[in-house]
A = this chain, B = another copy of it.
Amino acid sequence: MSDQEVNNGVNVHALLEAKEALTAAPEAAEFAWRATCKWVNGTHSESSVKGFSGLGGEQSHKTEFKFNADHPEVFASEDNGATPVEYILVGLASCLTAGVASVAQNRDIQLHSVQANIEGDMNILGILGADSDVRNGFNDIKAGDILETFTEEEVSVI
């Protein structure tokens, strides 16, 4: 562990305090997350994320986040946004990255860069309903190349 103060920008102290407070008042740990999706045209939609509930009441993001989803041109669509299945991969990739940052902070490891590459394999005969033996969904999801520039001293701590 280095003598320098480790700062990955994660407030681990607040998270540990929250863990203690929520263990004492478990009903406040019940969260509900929401997304509202409005159809635009064809396979194009716009989803909004703003409010959620938790800590015993209604909460809100600072701003409303909006997301366009669509199918690509190879599916005879207009490609106005990422596909729904790519949004799932974005969720997984960003969860993994935030998790690495939080755990590193808790272990006093200074991060310099982190990258998560997620790939999801899918046989689209499933979603097209062309073959009932083919799963309608991902066959496999791989997380790779979690790149991080550790010093040798830091690696020995992990």
Contact = CB atoms under 8 A, between A and B. Distances in A.
Interface of A: 8-11, 14-15, 18-19, 22-23, 26, 29-39, 41-45, 47, 49, 52, 54-55, 59, 61-62, 65, 67, 69-77, 79, 81-98, 100-102, 111, 113-125, 128-131, 134
B34 A119 contact: yes
15 contacts: A9-B42, A9-B44, A15-B76, A18-B76, A31-B122, A36-B115, A39-B111, A44-B98, A55-B74, A59-B72, A61-B72, A61-B79, A69-B90, A85-B91, A86-B91
A33 B83 contact: yes
A88 B14 CA distance: 25
A131 B23 contact: yes
Contact of A124 (B31, B101, B129): B31
A101 B39 contact: yes
A91 B97 contact: no
B35 A90 contact: yes
B82 A49 contact: yes
A75 to B, nearest CB: 7
